[in-house]
Amino acid sequence: MSILAKRLSRIKPSPTLAVAAKSAELKAEGRDIIGLGTGEPDFDTPDFVKEGAYEAIKAGKTKYTNVDGTPELKDAIIAKFKRDNNLTYTADQISVGTGGKQVLYNALMATLNPGDEVIIPAPYWVSYPDMVLLAEGEPVIVNCTQDSNFKLTAEALEAAITPKTKWLILNSPSNPTGFAYTHNEIKALTEVLMKYPHIYILSDDMYEHLVYDNFEFATPAQVEPELAQRVLTVNGVSKSYAMTGWRIGFAGGPAEIIKAMKKIQSQSTSNPSSISQAAATAALNGDQSFLGARNDVFKERRDMVVDMLNDCEGLTCLKPEGAFYVYPSCAGVMGKKTPTGKTLVTDEDFVTYLLESQGVACVHGAAFGLSPHFRISYATSTENLKEACARIKRACDALEGEATKAA
């Protein structure tokens, strides 16, 4: 009898974390590696947020807290939802976890029964399907191609719905594509869901504040208030506030679901770090003006990366509205041969070629459910991005033969 649980056979390790680990390993060996695989801002946590943590330490706030968040942080989250999204919640409708990932995991573990279906538009964040599988649900993947800017349409949503559907997961702006749903695009989806009262929406808004070109962010519970009691709106401080290591995520939604998530958390991690909660409280309550300046930098990087990638033979890259990712197609290099004679058959072949020949680490599209693409994170210095894109161009120029797919 194996010591390992059978459920582990249903899932795989996170591909994005695997790329980060491989990059670190090669750097430790002395290789010149530019890592474009990690979804982590290169900015530091703002000083006023750090001060909130320092003050909490000095005040002795180092003990256990309520399982799913301190009253102070819940108040800050309630204020944030009202200020940014015009959503009204009470404390029993707010959950705080150790990062957005735990909040999502808690929600799925607390609500899915064996065989329940979860609609997941692809490309998707790598953890969604595996979390569903761990909770004994069934991921229903709906491919959303470059032709629709990688976004789910009302028609595709309705075609995927069955009597077993329990959740739709929406992520806007998207990891991995950076594309975001407009108010009208969300409205089209909520109009479909109004007809199916057994379906809930899990809205992952982690990149809410990372939008460009005057894009107006919207979230389902805001767009269709009549659906609010069927929407769990997930957010956090990791991306917008450069607090990935602090590990604070949160959600607002129906009290019944929030209570069930609390029960799951009470038997796993208990409360998130008390000091991280104090820092998150400072982040949400503090001056938000720094976000604009940081977004200006991200926008410049996005524009440069998109232009340079579109100058690479065989690659096409759309310009997304948000996050800090692009998701170029590498269809135009499939079938070509590398200088060592290897034929590129998959997007994993291509990113392996980039890493081995040019020292550029990115994540293959198959990890996100849609090929042939690859994800680049531009959350690194402009100098690194410029050099990385130049290396990618050199790699593309060095390929031989004809492509088997159109770019």
In a domain, 54, yes or no: no
Residues 334 and 257 in one domain: no
Q: Which amino acid is at 377?
A: S
In a domain, 403, yes or no: no
Q: What is the pLDDT of residue 391?
A: 98
Domain that holds residue 200: 59-285
**pLDDT exceeds 80 at position 19:** no
Q: What is the CATH number of the domain that holds 278?
A: 3.40.640.10
Domain boundary (260, 285, 310) is at: 285
pLDDT in tens, 177-198: 999 999 999 999 999 999 999 9
> Of 404 and 365, which is predicted with more confidence?
365
Average pLDDT in the chain: 96
In a domain, 404, yes or no: no
Residue 347 · residue 373 · CB < 8 Å: yes
Residues 155 and 185 in one domain: yes
Residues 94 and 163 in one domain: yes
Residues 272 and 358 in one domain: no
Distance CA 277, CA 55 (A): 12
Q: What is the CATH number of the domain that holds 30?
A: 3.90.1150.10
Domain boundary (285, 309, 337) is at: 285
In a domain, 391, yes or no: yes
When divided into structural domains, the chain yields a total of 2
Domain boundary (225, 256, 285) is at: 285
Q: What is the pLDDT of residue 15?
A: 79
Residues 240 and 319 in one domain: no
pLDDT in tens, 311-339: 999 999 999 999 999 999 999 999 999 99
Buried/exposed code over 324-342 (b: 16+ C-beta within 10 A; e: otherwise) = bbbbbbbbbbbbbebeeee
Helices within 135-235 (DSSP H only):
154-160, 183-193, 220-223
